[in-house]
Amino acid sequence: MNTHKRTGFSLLAIAILALFFISPQIFQRSLIVANDWIFHMNRYYDTSMQIQTGHFNYFQSLFGFNQSGRVINAMYGADFAYFAGFVLAVVKNWYHFELILNFLCFFIAGSSMYILTRSAKLNNKIAILCAVLYMGSPLIVWWTTTQGFSGMGAAFLPLAFVPALRMIQNREYPIQPIVFGSIFALLLSIHMFTTLLACIAILPFYIIGFIRSDQKMQMFRQTILAVFIAVCLSLNTFAAILDLHTDTLIMPLNAAGLYNGGTFLSLGAMDYNNFGLIFSLIFIFQLVITVAYWKNMSTLIKITNVTGLIFFVISSKYFPWNHLTEQLPALLSIQFLRRFSGITCVLLILGFGYSMNHLRHYLNKDESKKSLMIGLAVLGLISTTSGWQLIDKQAQRWNSDTPLSGDTNAAQPIESDPIKIRTGLTSSDLSQAFTITQKPTPDYLPTKTNLINGYSTYSNEVLHNDLAITKTVTNDAKLKITWDSNQTEEKNILLPVIVYNNSTLNLNGKELTADDYQLSDIGALKLRNNHEKNTLVIGYQPSIFFTISLYIKGLAFIALVLYSIWKLTQSRILHKTKDKE
């Protein structure tokens, strides 16, 4: 079987397994509406409606988040949000949309792990095994069962280690700037925290690679070029953050403590923090192998195993996090230690692949090799059952009396009738989903105080604001709000709309300045009651640099596509020339 057919077969196997993981949802026709569902679906609904109406606003939420005008996507993977919004605009159905995203998460996780292991020059069958193991790892399953976005970021994470391996494998040309830069630009467009972890995790590879490199100055120049490419391809992300730097934004809520969210090994079934029997055995096996065969291991395998084991300890309950956070409370912003487990799984599964590859190499008889592969196949398939069971458990809730997932403790259910819940979430009117449940997430709201937890304030001032208003979107992608001030005798009127330093406000045809209004602790607009019918138009005016960043990103992307086409053409010409010879 030639390389292309082998790769095609492998990707087909990964796709079939991805379907297996989401089969509980397919067979039961169930939505999984968990803790972060309402937050992320608001993001995607907003971009979907922007795409459908042609009213694009990179910063303001024009359709999602109760049309509050708050900034979310600009700070939270805008590129992926628009991709997801495009998918939603096509399917126009929450159930099909969720199935597609869940399938993509599993398929990309498996494919990226397969690409990594083949870059490591592992046997194709062992590469498939590693892909299967990674697809069933806790963090990947976490996206489907709870909509934890770290899971979606983790699906792309193995790609970050493709250039990391090359740093050790190739002393003469350790870095391919375009590959390196493109991969990290991709990660930046999806999840910033995953990108940060990837940068930290590849440092050992880079340092050792630099020390061993025959062309240190060239490697340094290639690194600068790779960073430049990554920045150009994701400049809109950095420009948006810079655009909002004058606002004091409420960051995602810190955890009360990190220990309870730590991972651990066990002999039981896998859970979100519990690695379960199969992964526990693999990780312990890699620890023992690393210690026992340290002198015989290659530098690459040593770095892979040690880095993976360090991240395992950091992500686990075996590390004194409570003592550390007492001295450094800022570490509580990590929220969930399981976020580190993506690095653990990628590297220790890769290390396990190396171990099995070596074992297969030393087996002399074909029957022994066949027995090894059968055993590994059984191991891989068993590892998928725990993840499948977690998904099945969540999927079963849909047809019960409590269709919403049990972990939606931070959400606020609006509807309790299970029939109405299912009807609302499957309606062709996608906005009906937001009349079923809501979540007062205060992330990235502006504040002038030391407000840390804005959940209750956002709930009262935006979600449960009693003012009767009408919201529409203007042709130039701004929010238009109309109301009659005579409905209340209050001296000031609090509008459920969020104002940032770069926001523009026009009340009844008059441009407002900061002296004309007040803001609440979360940036909600306060106006004096004029006892009239009013029309307010609120927009967002980004800096010139942000506008320029979009052009730079577009040009960089076009240049990358053209270069890739040219390289592919050159490669095919070279292959044809060799075939003729």
Instruction: Give a yes or no: residue 476 inside a domain.
Output: yes
Burial class (CB in 10 A: 0-12, 13-18, 19+), 285: middle
Structure tokens at 52: 């459908």
**pLDDT given for residue 344 in this prediction:** 97
Instruction: Give a yes or no: residue 478 inside a domain.
Output: yes
Instruction: Give a yes or no: residue 436 inside a domain.
Output: yes
**pLDDT given for residue 360 in this prediction:** 86
**pLDDT given for residue 186 in this prediction:** 96
236 contacts 546 by C-beta, under 8 angstroms: yes
Instruction: Give a yes or no: residue 477 inside a domain.
Output: yes
Instruction: Give a yes or no: residue 388 inside a domain.
Output: no
Amino acid at 337: L
Contacts of 503 (CB under 8 A, 6+ apart): 69, 538, 539, 540, 541
CA-CA distance, 59 to 322, in Å (whole number)?
A: 37
CB count in 10 Å sphere of residue 391:
23
Instruction: Give a yes or no: residue 501 inside a domain.
Output: yes
Structure tokens at 53: 């109406």
Tens of pLDDT, residue by residue over 128-144, are 999 999 999 999 999 99
Instruction: Give a yes or no: residue 351 inside a domain.
Output: no
CB count in 10 Å sphere of residue 453:
11
Closest alpha carbon to 507 in 487, 526, 486: 526
CA-CA distance, 272 to 260, in Å (whole number)?
A: 12
Contacts of 78 (CB under 8 A, 6+ apart): 58, 189, 236, 237, 240
**pLDDT given for residue 419 in this prediction:** 94
Closest alpha carbon to 519 in 541, 494, 484: 494
Closest alpha carbon to 275 in 355, 344, 347, 201: 344
Question: Going along 13-107, which residue ranges are E strands?
Answer: none
In the chain, how many domains are there?
1
**pLDDT given for residue 252 in this prediction:** 80
**pLDDT given for residue 345 in this prediction:** 97
Helix (H, G, I), strand (E, B) or coil at 412: strand
Three-class SS of 414-431: CCCCHHHHHHHHCCCCHH
Residues of the chain short of pLDDT 70, as ranges, are 1, 406-410, 452, 575-581
69 contacts 50 by C-beta, under 8 angstroms: no
Instruction: Give a yes or no: residue 128 inside a domain.
Output: no
479 contacts 61 by C-beta, under 8 angstroms: no
Contacts of 566 (CB under 8 A, 6+ apart): none
Whole-prediction pTM: 0.94
Domain that includes residue 502, residue range: 59-72+410-542
Which position has the token pair 């029939």? 419
